[in-house]
A and B are shown apart, each in its own frame.
Chain A
Amino acid sequence: MTKWDFTGGTRSAMFEDPHVIESEAKPSRDGSGSPERSWIASAAPRNEGVRHASSVPTFPFSAIVGQDEMRQALLIAAVDPSVGGVLVFGDRGTGKSTAIRALAALLPKMRTVAGCPYACDPDSPAQACPHCATHPRPKKAVEIPVPVVDLPLGATEDRVVGALDLERALSLGEKAFEPGLLARANRGFLYIDEVNLLEDHLVDLLLDVAASGVNTVEREGLSLRHPAKFVLVGSGNPEEGELRPQLLDRFGLACEVTTPTEIKTRIEVVRRRDAFERDPEGFCEAHAKAEKATQKRITRARERLGAVAVPDAALESATRLCLALGTDGLRGELTLMRTARALAALDGDRAVTDDHIKRIAPSALRHRLRRNPLDESGSTARVARAVAEVFST
């Protein structure tokens, strides 16, 4: 019988606790024989990331046909993680998951402290995480791919926030913290498919952590804090249950994806998908150049981001737009400004213009509108109307 493998090896490496390493450097197998199947991920050290675990190449980001709004939103989140999460809502079979998994393969690598389970930045203060606070930092930093962590359905809370190390608790009676998915997603992306099916308390928790960038663990007698700065990416289908408004508002961008209706686009989508399935390596190679170009665009945009100016005129446009739509609070304006700036950086522009704001307004604002029972039109149409009004004068 196949047994699940453990993070035993991983964990030991993370904690560098001498006596634990001695006894448990190898994942435990309970003497029931070697597993019959090869493992994909679990034995890989944390810093290798989950996505490299699978040998199957992912569909290249640059090969996605259409879905411009979703791609734009994801690129913006990659350039400026502080814009908040991205919510992708739409029909079945529109490549939501494909796009987000594809983004993972695209992102440039990042420098981290070797051996740190939270993948701390070597330039961050040493007190940043429980690991770095107690362990001297190795001189050499390592480069790892940006983590894109999948939150699978059925995940239990202990694995999300991290919990008491079960193995050590049961076998040694020791109290040790085992970091969870939030720790692994630090400085990267956390992806939740079918976010509307996730239990409410988990969604609350995720949004809290995503907003504060810190995961506070107070459970099972453990008490600690560790950094957990990540971009939350959620996808879902509104027909299968709505997300409550409080949660909606906390995502930076929200895109709607629809099945393309134009026959040419549809043929192209199916054709590319078919080509990819028949020869994944060849397909990726054919798009390698475009992928490189997109990666370069992200890198350049990140460098340029700080220098992009936000003129008063653009600020005023943003404010007028939010006023016209009656969005609550300042979050709308803030997100609109930040995302417009990231968009300008992606475009290679020096300053934010009305054009950037117009292009990003639907994604940045459509989920912040007050529900108006008397207005039958959808929120996308309302944003479009407001954009037309504000920018016509």
Chain B
Amino acid sequence: MSGWLDALRVAALLAADPHGCGGVVLRARAGPVRERWLDLLRSALPAGTPLRRMPASIADDRLLGGLDLAATLRAGRPVSQSGLLAEADGGIVVVPMAERLSPGTVARLCAALDTGSISLERDGLQGRQPARFGLVLLDEGADDEAVAEALADRLAFQVDLSAMGLRDVEKELGEPNYEGRGSPGPCGEELTDPIATFCAAAADLGISSLRGPLLAVRVARLAARLDEREILAEADVIEAARLVLAPRATRLSEQDMPTETHEQRPEPEKAASEPTEAPPPEGEGDDAAPPTNLDELVLQAARAAIPLNLLAQLLAGGPRLRDGKAGRMGASSGAPRTGRPIGSRPGDPRRGRLDLIATLRAAAPWQQMRRRDQDGTNEHQPRRIIVLPSDIRIKTLRQRTETTTIFCVDASGSAALERLAETKGAVELLLAESYVRRDRVALVVFRGAGAEVMLPPTRSLPRAKRLLAGLPGGGGTPLAAGVDAAATLALSIRRAGGSPVIVLLTDGRANVARSGEGGRARAGEEALAAGRALKVLGLRTLLIDTGARPNGARRLADVAEARYVPLPYADAGAMSAAVRAAIA
């Protein structure tokens, strides 16, 4: 079965009921294949169906709707404008670079998908508009980036065209008939229990969200409707499982994966065999369900349709680990759009929040003059305030930039093991109180031959705990590698608009060079060089000397222009206090 034919089928189903399907995550690079698919989707849509493109960085007033400022000023009373989602009612919204959507935008899209409407409470406006659209999320992300899970979960389909060339597509253009669907199967009688079948298949593939089977049922019904049948046929169910369930698989079913993690679903055996024993549905199929092999067929079809790259991932290491967050937030942020107002400035209210009072104040002194200028034209409305675009003020907002504390910990040797426990405690203490300051914590550990980012910047205590629990210790001291890793991480945080602080915990006695070879002299030199780099890069650093001998790491602190705190017997509390003092 070719991926392109599946993609065509998805386009047909999506065009038939955009909102019911939720939409599709289309993983493909920008290029002719993707364009062709979009063209086909467009042509499959009934004439007049709206299809809108939404930039990933869209602002709320265009997304949800809001005040139409120009018209408002002309009319002298609030005039509203629809947002893009409401305009796309009944049609499709195409989102390029969907992996970069901010969490806020993701949540707004989710809310609109769930309710099929937009409710607006902005700029003194209030209302509700229908917005039953389907989403096409164009995901061009590299491997580490993916469309937000919350959103992908609500869309029926995931199509991967990234491995497909134009030639593959054109080869198949000659045969426009979609032959993947075989015959509709035995017609005329309702299948015993398609819902149980979907649920069983979902359980078998490790799909925990209930939206999977739910959307599969919907798609199966839609497929039947496209064939102008009232009742579901076997082929519909199999097809829905292939298109909807397969891309969601988080593991292979038992047969393929003997080393099963039993965490997610405690009774896999039972789940796989039980669906036929499920209570008979209330309305349909009252008679005892005869053992059908449909379950097996569906599962097989879904298993066969698991995309190759996903299959490889699943074979390699069980469930995918996907970050719940969307793309990289804040990487492109200019002036903050959130925060506390600290004043106002002239500007375009589409790039900020309108400061009404300041605007009126700016307009007030000129009223007499402007009225004279407009003499005659406005006589019937003498009380109207004349506001020109130059009067418009927007609020300036200040947002505290997020501080990320990077703990760079020496986990070498047996003495450092205790340090490690203290550091874990300090990290957790800081995290526990970090929400107030909107701070994040990261952890870099160096030991043995190199350094490793154990805990990427996070605000989540449970996540940190999980990662910290299995932290190993022992081995040599590759100090330079540790400092390098911390600096790299700090720079990436700075690029994303945050402000990093490095907390280096070491006794300063490096004995492993960057190359991984032993040797005190060279390792020490390299460590100092790495420290100098910290100074050049202007990274704020706190060095906690954990060595028993005084001033062991002093030189490193000096070259890095780091604050130096000797803490030979630090406990978690003292350490977090020292760090807090350094951050403040």
Binding site for B on A (CB under 8 A): 1-7, 28, 30, 32, 37, 39-42, 50, 53-54, 56, 91-94, 97, 150-156, 158-160, 163-167, 169-173, 178, 180-181, 193-194, 197, 199-201, 220-221, 237-246, 259-261, 263-264, 266-271, 273-275, 277-278, 371, 373-374, 376
- Whole-angstrom distance between the Cβ of B405 and the nearest chain A Cβ: 16
Residue of A nearest to B20 (CB): A277
Pairwise interchain contact A2-B86, C-beta atoms closer than 8 A: yes
Given contacts A245-B435, A274-B195, contact A263 B81 (CB under 8 A): no
What are 8 residue pairs bridging A and B, where the CB atoms are less than 8 Å apart in the complex? A3-B82, A40-B117, A42-B127, A93-B209, A171-B384, A193-B111, A274-B217, A373-B432
A-B contact number at CB 8 A: 238
Interface residue? B383 (CB, 8 A):
yes
User: Could you say which of B104, B210, B357, B462 contacts A266, with CB atoms under 8 Å apart?
Assistant: B210
B551 interface residue (CB < 8 Å to A): no
| Neighbouring A residues of B460 by C-beta, 8 Å | 238-239, 241-242
Question: Given contacts A37-B130, A153-B108, A165-B124, is CB(A197)–CB(B103) below 8 Å?
Answer: yes
Q: Chain A contacts of B202 at CB under 8 A?
A: 266
Identify which of B27-35, B155-163, B268-276, B498-506 touches chain A: B268-276
Assess whether B111 is in contact with A263, with CB atoms less than 8 Å apart: no
- Residue on A with the closest CB to B198? A270
CB distance from B155 to the nearest CB of A (A): 12
When A193-B111, A237-B324, A263-B270 are in contact, do A154 and B459 touch as well, CB less than 8 Å? no
Contact of A373 with B428 at beta-carbon distance under 8 Å, contacts A3-B82, A270-B195 already known: yes
Nearest CB in chain A to that of B359: its residue = A170
For window 237-281 of B, CB contacts with A under 8 Å fall at 265-266, 270-271, 274-275, 278-279, 281
Contacting residues, chain A, for B497 (C-beta < 8 A): none
Among A4, A199, A264, the residue within 8 A (CB) of B125 is A4
Least CB distance, B150 to chain A, in whole angstroms: 6
| Cα–Cα, bound, A279→B114 (Å) | 18
Residue in A163, A173, A181 with the greatest tally of chain B CB atoms within 10 Å: A173
**Interface mask (B524-549 → A, CB under 8 Å = 1, otherwise 0):** 00000000000000000000000000
* B140 part of interface (Cβ distance < 8 Å): no
Contact of A37 among B71, B129, B266, B429 (CB under 8 A): B129
Known contacts A159-B121, A264-B274, A273-B214, then 7 further A-B pairs from the complex at CB < 8 Å, ordered by chain A residue: A2-B129, A3-B79, A37-B89, A243-B435, A245-B435, A263-B275, A371-B428
Within 8 A of A (CB), among B559-574: 572
Specify which of A156, A172, A271, A277 lies most central, judged by the most chain B CB atoms within 10 Å of its CB. A271
Contacts of B213 in A (CB 8 A): 266, 270
- B208 CB–A CB distance under 8 Å: yes
The 10 A-B residue pairs whose C-beta atoms are closest, nearest first, are A4-B80, A373-B428, A166-B124, A42-B127, A159-B121, A155-B121, A239-B324, A41-B128, A244-B435, A93-B209
Given contact pairs A40-B128, A376-B469, A270 touches B384 in the complex (Cβ within 8 A): no
**Contact of B435 with A93 in the complex, beta carbons under 8 Å:** no
Note all chain B residues with C-beta closer than 8 A to A4.
Answer: 65-66, 80-82, 120, 125, 127, 129
Q: Is the CB of A373 within 8 A of B121?
A: no
CB < 8 Å neighbour of A154 from B108, B214, B324: B108
- Quick check: A266 and B199 within 8 Å, CB to CB? yes
CB distance from A71 to the nearest CB of B (A): 17
With both beta carbons as reference points, the residue of chain B lying nearest to A95 in the complex is identified as: B210
A12 to B166, CA, bound (A): 61
Q: Are B210 and A271 in contact (CB under 8 A)?
A: no
Contacts of B75 in A (CB 8 A): 28, 30
> Would A371 and B119 count as touching, CB distance under 8 A?
no
Task: Tell whether, in the assembled complex, residue B385 and residue A152 are in contact, meaning their CB atoms are under 8 Å apart.
Answer: no
Among A239, A240, A267, A268, which residue has the most Cβ atoms of chain B within 10 A? A267
Residues of chain A lying within 8 A (CB to CB) of residue B208:
91, 259, 261
- For residue B338, which residues in chain A have a CB less than 8 angstroms away from its CB? 199
Q: Are B64 and A6 in contact (CB under 8 A)?
A: no
Docked pose: A31 CA to B275 CA in angstroms: 60
B203 partner, pick from A155, A158, A193, A263, beta carbons under 8 A: A263
B348-377: contact bitstring with A at CB < 8 Å (1 yes, 0 no)?
A: 000001001100100000000000000000
With A171-B77, A371-B461 in contact, do A166 and B356 touch (Cβ < 8 Å)?
A: yes
